[in-house]
Amino acid sequence: MKTTLKRIFVLLLTAVLFGCAAIPCLAITQNGKITVTLEDDQKNKISPLTVNICQIATLNNTGYYPTAAFENSGLSIAGVVNNPNETVTKTLVDYIKDNRIHTVSAVSANGTVSFDNLDLGIWVVFPEEDERYIFNPYIVFLPFESGGQLHYEITSAPKLEDHTPNAINIYVVKKWEDKNNASKKRPASITVELLNGSAVVDSVTLSESNGWSHTFPKLAKDGSYSVKEKAVPDYQASYSGDAVNGFVITNTYAGEKLPQTGQYWWPIILMSIAGTCFVLLGVYEIGVKKNGKKK
């Protein structure tokens, strides 16, 4: 970054002394653009996410000058130019917040937020503190010199951190009461929704592959959570547990009566037939005896 800034100054000085024939000429009347791409570690686009920018210095053919809001700040623009590190950037952001300095804010859509028609100079880019995802504030120079060219449109992709305050993880597990799937009606998977009050905040598919269990990560601690599965035919669901200790969803088979696991039906049928035969035989013998006595 220092090298880049020195190049810009060299370009400015050369432009003043020798004109713009052999180097890119600073277009003072041109506006700049800052685009911020917001993705997590899995390349998921993060939206909505609020991003703020604030101009701390303007730029003309002779150099950088503090904006009106920073003229009496005691902060050195030269220090920012020479050493735009994390500590300097944090100091700038703290000053902006403490003094309620005007900022421009925008909310990301499809993981991208753009700021158009910006004045040339030095800008600070920083996130909202109460967002789930945050990133380290950073400084953007408009224009940015690279390869002997001045670039007026800057795209950056800061590293996002999941910053849910007082976050908790919520565990859910599915249990089956169906005599080890004796009816063969157990589904291959089920869908479980996580609710905060009446609003669905997440869902998951449970199956043998994940042990019929899942952990919903990094949820706000002050939520009122519950779980609900989408109806499973022939099963009755019951719920127990809570967000702190985890939820248990028990599915009890409610279809036709199940035999004992491992027991065959045919011995029962044969025994029933045999029992009936014995009863009939007994009735017959009693009748024969009675008839014999009558004779």
Number of structural domains found in the chain = 2
The rounded mean pLDDT for the chain is: 83
Q: Are residues 74 and 152 in the same domain?
A: yes
Q: Report the alpha-carbon distance of residue 225 to residue 195 in Å, rounded.
A: 5
Q: Are residues 154 and 216 in the same domain?
A: no
Q: Report the alpha-carbon distance of residue 53 to residue 107 in Å, rounded.
A: 12
Q: Are residues 139 and 174 in the same domain?
A: no
Q: Are residues 110 and 186 in the same domain?
A: no
Check residue 34 and give its pLDDT. 97
Q: Which residue type, as a one-letter code, is found at position 261? A: T
Q: Are residues 155 and 193 in the same domain?
A: no
Would you say 143 and 151 are in contact if contact means Cβ atoms under 8 Å apart? yes
Q: Are residues 153 and 19 in the same domain?
A: yes
Q: Are residues 136 and 173 in the same domain?
A: no
pLDDT band at 221 (very low <50, low <70, confident <90, very high): confident
Q: Are residues 137 and 179 in the same domain?
A: no
Check residue 135 and give its pLDDT. 94
| Burial status of residue 159 (CB atoms within 10 A of its CB: 0-12, 13-18, 19 or more) | exposed
Check residue 13 and give its pLDDT. 39
Q: Are residues 109 and 37 in the same domain?
A: yes
DSSP 143-160: SEEETTEEESEEEE-PPP
Q: Is residue 103 over pLDDT 70?
A: yes
Whole-model pTM: value is 0.54
Q: Report the alpha-carbon distance of residue 113 to residue 48 in Å, rounded.
A: 10
Q: Are residues 109 and 182 in the same domain?
A: no
* Domain final residue pick, 162, 183, 201: 162
Q: Are residues 192 and 55 in the same domain?
A: no
Range of the domain at 198: 167-253
